[in-house]
Amino acid sequence: MYYNRPLPTLDIGKGCFIIPQDKANAQNPYGLADFPDISYLMPAVLGSSAAFIVGFSFFGHSLSCGYSKVIFFVNIYALIVSLGTGAYIFQVLTLRDGDARFYDLILPLVSVLLFFAFTFNLVYSLFPFTFSGTIGETRLTQFLSFLSLSVGSISVGESFNVTVEKTGVQVLAAMESFWNLFVLTLLISILV
């Protein structure tokens, strides 16, 4: 394999070596990937995992201080997740055509949806005064309340009687709403 490579030739007019490309690699001469880079979704996956573990382990054991530091970190991390997932979606839209684009968008949409659901659950487990309304009493029903909040905000804009009470969490909810607006715009542009 290595010995079958074409030999580079010197182009004196350009002052560089030219490496002939075979026909299979003619459309992608620089070796760029033909598929989106999945590593852009790693912040969403790692953040979801961490929020799941901490949120479920702190169930029933709320904190009395540190709200401003925690919510600041969570908001910055949510911004990183949103930008990373947006970059992945941009790659999907530029590298894929047709139906492949639609199916490649399912993974980032679900990962961001779960990220925000787990993050809301984490914030409520640490600081119960941040939300009010109908929230489940057990670990699973509490998470399902916040999953329905995330799904409701992306689909119909419904909060299912879960109200955000603090400004820091309102910023987090606004990030999710903006993200959902971005997603709906993408889905409409692909389907039409």
Please give the model's pTM, rounded to 2 decimal places. 0.79
Domains of the chain: which residue ranges? 35-191
pLDDT value of residue 147:
93
Q: Which residue has the higher pLDDT, 180 or 57?
A: 57
How sure is the predictor about 89, in pLDDT bands with cuts at 50, 70 and 90? Answer: confident
Counting Cβ atoms within 10 Å, is residue 96 exposed (0-12), middle (13-18) or buried (19+)?
Answer: middle
For 123-177, the pLDDT digits (tens) are 999 999 999 988 989 999 999 999 998 888 766 666 778 888 999 999 999 998 8
